[in-house]
Structure 1
Amino acid sequence: MITWALWILFGSLLTLALLSPLESLRWWARDGQSVASLVRKAAPEELDAARSDADADPVQQFVVYLSGVAVASGGANSTSKTEMHFLDALSDRLPGARITGDVFPYSPQNLGLPQRRLSGRLWSFAIRHRRRSRFSLLSYLIKIRNILQIMVAGDPRYGPTYGLGLANEITRSLLDKGYRLGSGTTVTVIGFSGGAQMCLNAAWFLESSGIPTQIVSMGGIFANNPAFERLHRFIHLWGSKDLLHHLGPVFSPRRLRWFPSSAFNRAKAEGRVLDRCIGPMRHDAAQWYLDHRATTPDGHSYFDITTDAIVEFLHETPLPTTRPRDGRTS
């Protein structure tokens, strides 16, 4: 009986893995051509509204938050209370910024799991029951599904398509917040865990469309990516007890110093990639980066330490007028 159960589980995971690229391919077949010119061009009425809002309330910078693999959709309905508090804290300390967390990074069309036509009921069931325990099997099912999407995004066959779709949705969210295309205002994309890889996939196209982009990786798991050729700045914040963030170089050896010609290492040599240990944080669960209860010996909570590090980075945000070296793939 146990053997049959294991075979069924293995077959289900294999099927889920094989079907993972289909969403990206369907999006490309249906909508890809309309946004193939390096992120969609906003409609005139959208640009007029954005300019009107920006003129009335000048904005110094925009921040987009992409959550980790436990998230099931974008926005307050799925983002944890702790993460919402984190975004509120950033907003309070950065009065000249507009901050959004409504993009679901594990879908090139920003389609949350409960919104799906065929599998929506299954995911809604999983979301309801995982609230009883974050360690339930259904909770892991959501994480596995999103991890598979990260693998799709990291696949050179599907990654560009995925990144284009995600960049399009980030641009849409920015326009809704009043961003003006061509204004030169810097956009910071914060990615937690696997969200850092999704930031990179989208960043190439954001930069290509004239949006100066910098990334904050919060315990991020990410690969060498051509986007490092175009990014203005990238900072990787990590905790000394976070073992999972080390998986990035394991799965992407070109991040290692033995490959100085990789996009990641070239950007690092130019000073556009920063790497900083901010404390004894773990990757998730107790004592993670946004844990209010865990504190250092001097009494600072992990939440405050992480927020302080990100705010410091954002306060140093320049207003770029030129792009780094024109992109080269690696």
Structure 2
Amino acid sequence: MNNFLLWVCALGPALLAEALLARYEVMAYSAGWRAPTTELPEGVPYARGAAPDSPPAAYLVYLDGIGKRRVRDTRDGGQLVKALLAGAPELRVLGQVQPYSPLAHPLADRPVWVWLRRRAGLALFLHNVMQIFVAADHRYRPLYNRAVGCQIATQLRLAGYLPDSGIPVVLLSYSGGAQVATGAVHELHTQLRSPLLLITLGGFHNGANDLTHAEHLHQLTSAYDRIERIGTWIFPQRWPLFRGSGWNRARRAGKITVHRLDPATHLGPRSYISPEARLPAGRSHLERTTDTVIELIRARRSATAPTDDRVP
């Protein structure tokens, strides 16, 4: 108990400061005090997969959950991205976007957070949680959406994307990444005018963002995902009663399709991206999730492919 109290006393001021300063980045961005980072560390490509010299089938941007702290890391060690690259070589995949930093500054590279990481990993976790709620706050949401939307658009251009090319952009988001993905839709449409397909995996978001410029949103979910279910409870814009919210307008327009991935959980050894958890047919949860994402992207391509009605 004494050790617990010591940790509370040590972390309390740091967490309070984080709660007060969580809005700093988005304010610094909007005021022009600091410029977003665009360069990647040496040896990190702007995209992997299909070669940039020929048009890929789609550009896929992976927006990870709240465990994202640096350019390279993901909660599963990059296994989902690797599986997508192996299963769909026609895609050009970006995994470096920092969804919880409007300034595109990796959290793990900041000196104060390097120090905290060695002593209190929970503080890193709470930082990104707070950023989600800043992104969902109606006072800061437009600024946050524009900042991260610009970050994604910049990274896509650096990866070879050409505005008005007609090549679809897929925003694949995990957990809190869905808040960022839905918020980036308007800015990406404005800057790139690209067809936008959203795929949320256990998506945790407030449902307030406008999805008018998204072609479709595929909601990959599970009855065993408690964290996603909490999001549908705590954000009124996700309730059917709030018919004017972006989420409910998109539902009435037929833009949202639900795909069940039972019995996957949000986290842990039975999560959506677990390579160990097995389905009755033998596939792992990771394999099923990967196959589902690839099928949705290819189905979209088939549905929009021009037909040749010419008589031979």
Q: TM-score, normalised by structure 1?
A: 0.80
| Structure 1 residues 5 and 113: CA distance shift in structure 2, 3 A | closer
Asked if structure 1 preserves the Cα contact closer than 8 Å seen for 2:22 and 2:131, the reply is yes
* C-alpha distance in 2 between matches for 1:221 and 1:195: 7
Q: Residue 275 in 1 paired to residue 250 in 2?
A: no
Q: Residue 79 in 1 paired to residue 79 in 2?
A: no
Asked if structure 1 preserves the Cα contact closer than 8 Å seen for 2:67 and 2:74, the reply is no
Please, which of 122, 143, 150 is the counterpart of residue 140 of structure 1? 122
What amino acid maps onto 2:248 in structure 1?
N
Q: CA deviation at 1:121?
A: 2.4
Asked if structure 1 preserves the Cα contact closer than 8 Å seen for 2:171 and 2:198, the reply is yes
Considering Cα pairs closer than 8 Å and 6+ residues apart, tell me whether 1 or 2 has the greater RCO.
1
Q: CA deviation at 1:5?
A: 5.3
Q: CA deviation at 1:243?
A: 0.4
What amino acid maps onto 1:157 in structure 2?
R
Q: CA deviation at 1:88?
A: 2.0
Q: Tell me which residue corresponds to 1:184.
A: 166
Q: CA deviation at 1:9?
A: 3.7
Q: Tell me which residue corresponds to 2:283.
A: 300
Asked if structure 2 preserves the Cα contact closer than 8 Å seen for 1:153 and 1:162, the reply is yes
Moved more, 93-102 or 142-151: 93-102
Q: Tell me which residue corresponds to 1:234.
A: 217
Moved more, 59-68 or 206-215: 206-215
* C-alpha distance in 2 between matches for 1:188 and 1:86: 15
* C-alpha distance in 2 between matches for 1:320 and 1:113: 39
* C-alpha distance in 2 between matches for 1:207 and 1:101: 20
Q: Tell me which residue corresponds to 2:59.
A: 62
* C-alpha distance in 2 between matches for 1:31 and 1:238: 39
Q: Tell me which residue corresponds to 2:15.
A: 13
Alignment partner of 1:225: what SS?
coil
Q: Tell me which residue corresponds to 2:189.
A: 207
* C-alpha distance in 1 between matches for 2:131 and 2:30: 15
| CA-to-aligned-CA distance 1:80-128 (integer Å, 9 cap, x gap) | 5x3522212212222321001011110012100133xxxx22322444x
Q: Tell me which residue corresponds to 1:92.
A: 86
Q: Residue 104 in 1 paired to residue 98 in 2?
A: yes
Asked if structure 2 preserves the Cα contact closer than 8 Å seen for 1:186 and 1:317, the reply is no
Q: Tell me which residue corresponds to 2:41.
A: none
Alignment partner of 2:300: what SS?
coil
Q: Residue 167 in 1 paired to residue 167 in 2?
A: no
* C-alpha distance in 1 between matches for 2:30 and 2:282: 50
Asked if structure 1 preserves the Cα contact closer than 8 Å seen for 2:186 and 2:210, the reply is yes
* C-alpha distance in 1 between matches for 2:277 and 2:170: 27
**Structure 1 portions without partners, runs of 5+:** 36-52, 130-136, 322-330
| Structure 1 residues 207 and 31: CA distance shift in structure 2, 3 A | farther
Please, which of 112, 128, 133 is the counterpart of residue 122 of structure 1? 112
Asked if structure 2 preserves the Cα contact closer than 8 Å seen for 1:206 and 1:212, the reply is no
| CA-to-aligned-CA distance 1:256-311 (integer Å, 9 cap, x gap) | 22233322112112221112211211111211111011112221111111111111
**How much is the aligned-residue C-alpha RMSD, in angstroms?**
2.5
Q: Tell me which residue corresponds to 1:42.
A: none
- For these two proteins, the number of residue pairs brought into alignment is 288
What amino acid maps onto 1:178 in structure 2?
G
* C-alpha distance in 2 between matches for 1:246 and 1:155: 19
Deviating above 6 A after TM superposition, structure 1's stretches of 4 or more consecutive aligned residues are none
* C-alpha distance in 2 between matches for 1:287 and 1:173: 32
**Structure 2 portions without partners, runs of 5+:** 37-50, 306-312
Percent identity for Structure 1 against Structure 2:
26
| Structure 1 residues 67 and 167: CA distance shift in structure 2, 3 A | same
Moved more, 261-270 or 101-110: 261-270
Q: Tell me which residue corresponds to 1:28.
A: 30
Q: Tell me which residue corresponds to 2:309.
A: none
* C-alpha distance in 2 between matches for 1:27 and 1:263: 25
Q: CA deviation at 1:8?
A: 5.0
